[in-house]
Amino acid sequence: MAEKTRVSRRELIRTAAVTGAAAAAGYSPAQAQTGQPGWDREADVVVIGSGACGMPAAIRARELGSSVIVVEAEADIGGHAICSGANIPLGGGTSFQKRAGIEDSPDLVFRDLTDWSLTEPNGYADYRFNDREIMRAFADNCAQTFEFLVDHGVKFVNEKPDGRAGSAHGNSVPRQMHVWAGDWPQVQTGRPTPMEVRAQTSNGNGLMRPLESAARKAGVEFLLEHRMTTIHRTAPNGGRVLGVAVTNRGRNLSIRARKAVVVATGGSSGNVNFRRMFDPRLTEEYCGLAGMPWSNQDASGELAGLAIGASLWGAANQTLEIGDNITKPGKIGCQYGYVNLTWMPGSRVFDKARASGLRVGNWQDVILVNMLGKRFYDETGGGYPGNRYNTVSPYFPHSYRNARNVKFNPPDWIPAAMGGIGDGHNGGGAIWAIFDADAGAREKWNPVAPNVDYDAGFFFSANSISDLAKKIRMDHQRVPMAADDLEDTVSRYNSFVDSGVDQDFAKPKPLYKIAKAPFYAAWAAPVVHDTRAGLRINGKSQVLDMKGEVIASLYSGGESAGGFSMHGLARCLCQGFVAGKNAHDERVEI
């Protein structure tokens, strides 16, 4: 295998996050003033992005009679959705709910997703800051969106909705459905899901490939590897949206939208400076974004919208420490450690992922240290909590009694990891999982490429703890790790195994010493996942400006839009469903 160079800090910013300054430069108000350029292409509706929001928007607009062009920056469709576990909490009285005897309604969905009283053990509220108009639209279109999926070939592995997986989809009744993976090659592996587990496996391929097929059959045109750079409006802060500018392999094209543009670019988790407007801690070391390297959430839609006067919305939902906004890594020793996504050598993007990572089965098998080589929290601590069906029981809708019944018990591993080392910098810096040969044997890990990423500096090994500390070098390691400090940390932890008591962080009965060479250090930083703040929209998925007025002919939804705290695909699919219909209904611009 050809030798690869270590990923630098600058390269990580470039590949895992488009910097805010550079992105902002691409969406300046001056460019938005271009008025009516010479158009290279045109359609009634232009959809930016082919993920869980863009695809239903495109299908619905086309089936209602509009011509549709989908502009997709990547080489294939699907966005983050095709990489997902495809857990979809669409309720409100679906056919599956009715067959299972589950009583649900739009009013119950709305009541659940606006319940101010539901708080988590860390004190944060799942639904308190949801936009009521957006919730009403979601509730009223929830069941219709589900039936739209069924009608367009999406199948499910469960016949009865449940409450498994995801978060913030309502406490009252089960709504979660899990999409059948199907026969399509998985983007993660390049191979179909094995037959022996296919009947139980949920996967985003089973969602996005049927929708892609339906879109192409309906006559939707896809422009792959076309990156939107500008939204054209008749004036910088006035008039209707006219179309978009895109780039394709060095070519600049202008695409006219006779009716409307739908922004479905997928959020901002990959844009370091944009995401730091909501959380200053999210500096560039958090480079292992969920869904990358298949697609990047670069804030392009939000920035293009802002450049023509759009407003942002729902900042509280982005900063709340709930659900999967930020997650504990499920895999270590690789850049992309999101627990529910494993990149394998057969994937078409494995050259960018570089390693699959080591899935952690038992956090007793490692200790986690910061840049100084010091522990900072109980390694078995969990991620952020989130409400789902029957999480709170007994449940009293919109009642203070719910909060009174929640025991304050914050699972603070993520805030502790992001707390830093007290050197005045934002961001937690490098987090390393330290383990030995015995731990590797217990976990059945094989710490060689392509399971781990030595070349890019996300994994190190040595025959002594001292030598291991000396080897740890990467751009996010702001200060060298002192060998004495890591040796002292390991020695102290081993003494806790002897005594059975973690005197520093109360880890439940430390079980295993770190004593047998070789010793390993594996990248284990928190993973940025959801985007829950974005462009301000109304119940029709129309984008609003800073005065709260509609920007004519501009729509958005999913992770590009704000005001909705729910994790996962349901909000994306439903808002795309709504946007597609309303975009079609716009009058044709002659």
DSSP state, residue 79: G
> Cis bond leading into 518, ω under 30°?
yes
Instruction: Kindly report the average pLDDT of the chain as a whole number.
Output: 92
pLDDT tens digits, one per residue of 31-73:
444 456 689 999 999 999 999 999 999 999 999 999 999 999 9
Average pLDDT, integer, range 63-89: 96
pLDDT for position 590: 66
Q: Is 101 exposed, middle or buried (0-12, 13-18, 19+ CB in 10 A)?
A: exposed
Give the mean model confidence (pLDDT) for residues 511-528. Answer: 98
**127 within 8 A of 409, measured Cβ to Cβ:** no
pLDDT in tens, 434-457: 999 999 999 999 999 999 999 999
Q: Is 143 helix (H, G, I), strand (E, B) or coil?
A: helix
Residue 588 — pLDDT band, cuts 50, 70, 90?
Answer: confident
What are the structural domains of the chain?
31-83+219-321+530-585 (3.50.50.60), 329-380+432-523 (3.90.700.10)
Q: Is the four-CA dihedral 107, 151, 48, 88 of positive or negative sign?
A: positive
- Please tell me the distance from the alpha carbon of residue 386 to that of residue 384, in angstroms, as a whole number: 7
351/330 Cα distance (integer angstroms): 21
What type of residue is 300?
Answer: S
Residue 78 confidence (pLDDT)? 96
What residues are paired with 375 via a beta bridge?
A: 369
Q: How far is CA 163 from CA 44, 134, 169, 174, in A?
A: 39, 23, 9, 5
pLDDT at 302 over 70: yes
pLDDT, residue 36, reads 61
The answer to whether the beta carbons of residues 534 and 268 sit under 8 Å apart is yes
Residue with tokens 């056919």: 95
Which burial class, exposed, middle or buried, applies to 399 when counting CB atoms under 10 A from its CB (0-12, 13-18, 19+)? Answer: middle
What are the tokens at 189? Answer: 């592996």
Assign 193 a pLDDT band (cuts: 50, 70, 90).
very high
Look at residue 533 and tell me whether its pLDDT is greater than 70: yes
Least confident interval from 9-18, 467-476, 535-544, 561-570: 9-18
Q: What percent of the chain has pLDDT over 90?
A: 86
As a whole-number percent, the residues of the chain with pLDDT over 70 amount to 94
Residue 266 pLDDT class (50, 70, 90 cuts):
very high
Give the pLDDT mean for 220-236: 96
Mean of pLDDT values over 398-408: 91
What are the tens digits of pLDDT across the range 321-368? 999 899 999 999 999 999 989 999 999 999 999 999 999 999 999 999
pLDDT at 231 exceeding the cut of 90: yes
Q: Tell me: pLDDT of 27 over 50.
A: no
Are 465 and 488 spatial neighbours (Cβ–Cβ below 8 Å)? no
The pLDDT assigned to 567 comes to 83
- What's the pLDDT at 13? 39
How far apart are the C-alpha atoms of 456 and 470, rounded to whole Å? 17
